[in-house]
Structure 1
Amino acid sequence: MQTKKIIVHGLVQGVGFRWSTQALARQMGIHGNVKNNADGTVAIVAQGDSLKLAEFISKVKASPSPAGYVDKIEVTDIEEKPLHSFNVVF
């Protein structure tokens, strides 16, 4: 089980990006959360097995929201206790 922090840059606020990311994560069995940052980026904490997590990150790069787009992402490994769901954080 791996946990990653993903910072997403691009048109990712106000386009349903968080909700689309939540739907994608739940569909793939990824646990964690997604929230808007004050600087216009979106932060995702994602936890899952390495293959599913790599696939999830790839799909995030392609933008799960058809109205948005991703310019770049930053991915870092983090230590996190086991997570049991995927939620939008306000």
Structure 2
Amino acid sequence: MTKRVIYEGRVQGVGFRYTTKDLARGFDVLGTVKNLPDGSVELIIAGEDAEVGEFLRDLQEDSAVAHHIKNVLVEEIAPLPDLKGFSIVS
């Protein structure tokens, strides 16, 4: 499963991308996280359904970022064969 998730709120300048990358180390997932020009953050996450689901739940419950999230938009997308590891994209 591959998902594109947009996090809206005060999610830039608060360590959101770094928290996301650190959390990803504990899961068998691939992906990227980056700031978007409109102030939101885009997460691309790929892996087994259960891993992706648990990762997304844990991220939204993480005390370092949870209170900054005001809205979450999730869509399933086609697999991206170029994903390797998990990285922050500028």
Checking the alignment, whether the CA contact within 8 Å between 1:21 and 1:60 is kept in structure 2 is yes
Partner residue of 1:10? 9
User: Is 1:50 aligned to residue 52 of structure 2?
Assistant: no
Query: What 5-or-longer segments of structure 1 have no aligned partner?
Result: none
Q: May I ask how many residue pairs the two structures share in their alignment?
A: 89
Distance change (3 Å), C-alpha of 1:64 and 1:85: farther
Distance change (3 Å), C-alpha of 1:69 and 1:62: farther
Q: How does 1:20-31 map to 2 (within 5 A)?
A: 20-31=19-30
Partner-residue secondary structure (3-state), 2:32: strand
TM-score, normalization by structure 2 = 0.87
Partner-residue secondary structure (3-state), 2:12: coil
Distance change (3 Å), C-alpha of 1:62 and 1:46: same
Identity %: 36
Partner residue of 1:87? 87
Rounded to whole Å, the distance in 1 between the matches of 2:39 and 2:73 is 14
The Cα RMSD (Å) is 1.8
Query: What 5-or-longer segments of structure 2 have no aligned partner?
Result: none
Rounded to whole Å, the distance in 2 between the matches of 1:17 and 1:56 is 14
Partner-residue secondary structure (3-state), 1:43: strand
Rounded to whole Å, the distance in 2 between the matches of 1:48 and 1:21 is 15
Distance change (3 Å), C-alpha of 1:70 and 1:63: farther
Point out 4+ residue stretches in structure 1 off by more than 4 angstroms. none
- CA shift, 1:66, in A, is 4.7
